[in-house]
Amino acid sequence: MKLYKTTITPISSFATPLKGDTLFGQICWAIRYIYDEKRLNSLLKEYETKPFLIVSDGFTSGYLPKPTMPSSLLGEDLKDKKDNRKKIWLTQNDLERGNFKNAKKSSEINEATAQTATIKNAINYLKFSTDDSGVFSPYAVIETSFGKQDIYFLLDENFSVDELKKALKLVAIGYGKKASVGKGHFSFDEITQVSFKNEAKAFMTLSPCAFYGGDFSQCYYEPFTRFGKHGGALSNTNPFKAPLLLADTGAVITYEKPCVKDYIGRAIKGHSSHENAVHQGYSIVIATEIYNAI
């Protein structure tokens, strides 16, 4: 598989976080609309053993997240725990070399991220009231505005860069929730081939993943619960999927001996009433020398 990267520029705010598994699902729908269901099914046929596409989260352009590990394993000063938690960004070179002391705060890299809450209220248009009792019951829709984001893609020979570009153009019209009212709109740069260090004893994930059942010796991660919903035509029946417990982005997996890895994880099925539904439980990984920091 070959690794590619593009940088997106948001044109509107986003109502859904830019997570790799969500973006993978939207690209699958784009393939379905641009080509046909037969093409999508052919790509997904061997997805459980041979993924055709793995997508990363979006990261502040030029940086990658700091690994999710105890400060003692990152070589950080334990007296500065509060300050260490704010240092969340590393360059690719520092991450690969294990120079975690060079991590930077969002303010230090001028990360332009802001969240706003829009208060909404559900109305029953048959009764013209908020609910059966008529009680006002507001809820908040969180919208995020941010600057340029880097996204990485791992492609196999069955899925071309041209196909990815066409699919991403459709997704760019509106990603995630509230796309019909202009949220999640972005442009993107050329999709170029890049490379990560892929041989070491330790690797960090770039999206939520399911790495249970692997051959690793240790793992460090924060749990992430995915409450998924179907999009497109499948949302007209039962849109809800069963919750999935995943390891969040930035998880670290270690091995007894150096090995070569481009990705880890597995495909997830059986979490939906639609038997063809599949979830990206894979993640692109980058090798890192955590032992240099101990």
- With cut-offs at 50, 70 and 90, classify the pLDDT of residue 132: low
- Provide the residue range defining the domain that includes 255: 2-111+146-292
- Polymer length of the chain: 294
Please tell me the predicted confidence (pLDDT) of residue 2.
Answer: 94
Task: For residues 190 and 121, state if they share a domain.
Answer: no
Task: For residues 130 and 185, state if they share a domain.
Answer: no
Report the distance separating Cα 282 and Cα 294, nearest Å. Answer: 28
Task: For residues 99 and 132, state if they share a domain.
Answer: no
- With cut-offs at 50, 70 and 90, classify the pLDDT of residue 70: confident
Please tell me the predicted confidence (pLDDT) of residue 52.
Answer: 95
Q: Which of 133-142, 164-173, 203-212, 280-289 has the lowest mean pLDDT?
A: 133-142
Report the distance separating Cα 252 and Cα 247, nearest Å. Answer: 10
Please tell me the predicted confidence (pLDDT) of residue 261.
Answer: 92
Task: For residues 92 and 215, state if they share a domain.
Answer: yes
Extract the tokens encoding 93. 């070179």
Q: pLDDT for 30-39, tens place per residue?
A: 999 999 889 9
Q: pLDDT for 245-257, tens place per residue?
A: 999 999 999 998 8
Contact 89, 66 (CB under 8 A): yes
Of 87, 120, 143, which residue sits at a domain end?
143
Task: For residues 104 and 55, state if they share a domain.
Answer: yes
Of 122, 143, 164, which residue sits at a domain end?
143
Report the distance separating Cα 162 and Cα 131, nearest Å. Answer: 49
Count of structural domains, the chain: 2
Task: For residues 64 and 131, state if they share a domain.
Answer: no
Of 123, 143, 163, which residue sits at a domain end?
143
Task: For residues 137 and 210, state if they share a domain.
Answer: no
Task: For residues 120 and 232, state if they share a domain.
Answer: no
Task: For residues 139 and 20, state if they share a domain.
Answer: no
**Cα dist. 178→15, 184, 261 in Å?**
7, 8, 37
Extract the tokens encoding 77. 């000063």
| Res. 66: pLDDT tops 90 | yes
Q: pLDDT for 220-244, tens place per residue?
A: 999 999 998 887 777 777 788 889 9
Contact 225, 244 (CB under 8 A): yes
Q: pLDDT for 138-189, tens place per residue?
A: 778 888 888 899 999 999 999 999 999 999 999 999 998 888 888 899 999 9
Per the DSSP assignment, residues forming a β-bridge with 240 are: 229
Task: For residues 21 and 117, state if they share a domain.
Answer: no
| Res. 280: pLDDT tops 70 | yes
Task: For residues 256 and 119, state if they share a domain.
Answer: no
What DSSP assignment string belongs to the chain?
Answer: -EEEEEEEEESS-BSS---HHHHHHHHHHHHHHHS-HHHHHHHHTTTTTS-SEEE---EETT-EEPPS--GGGTT--GGGHHHHHHEEEE-HHHHHHT-GGG-EEGGGGT---EEEEEEEE--BTTTTBSSTT----EEEEEEEE---EEEEEEE-TTS-HHHHHHHHHHHTT--STTGGGTTT-EEE---EE-----EEEEEEESS-B--TT-S-SEEE--EEEE--B--GGGGGS--B---EEEEPTT-EEEEEEEEE-SEEE--B-SSSSSTT--B--EEEEEE--GGG--
Q: Helices 37-44 and 20-34 meet at what angle, rounded to 10?
A: 140
Report the distance separating Cα 214 and Cα 258, nearest Å. Answer: 15
| Res. 51: pLDDT tops 90 | yes
Tell me what percent of the residues of the chain surpass a pLDDT of 90. Answer: 54
The pLDDT mean for the chain works out to 88
What predicted TM-score, i.e. pTM, was given to this entire model?
0.90
Task: For residues 230 and 93, state if they share a domain.
Answer: yes
Report the distance separating Cα 286 and Cα 263, nearest Å. Answer: 8
> In this structure, is the dihedral angle defined by the CA atoms of residues 244, 45, 20 and 187, taken in order, positive or negative?
negative
Average pLDDT over residues 20-32: 93
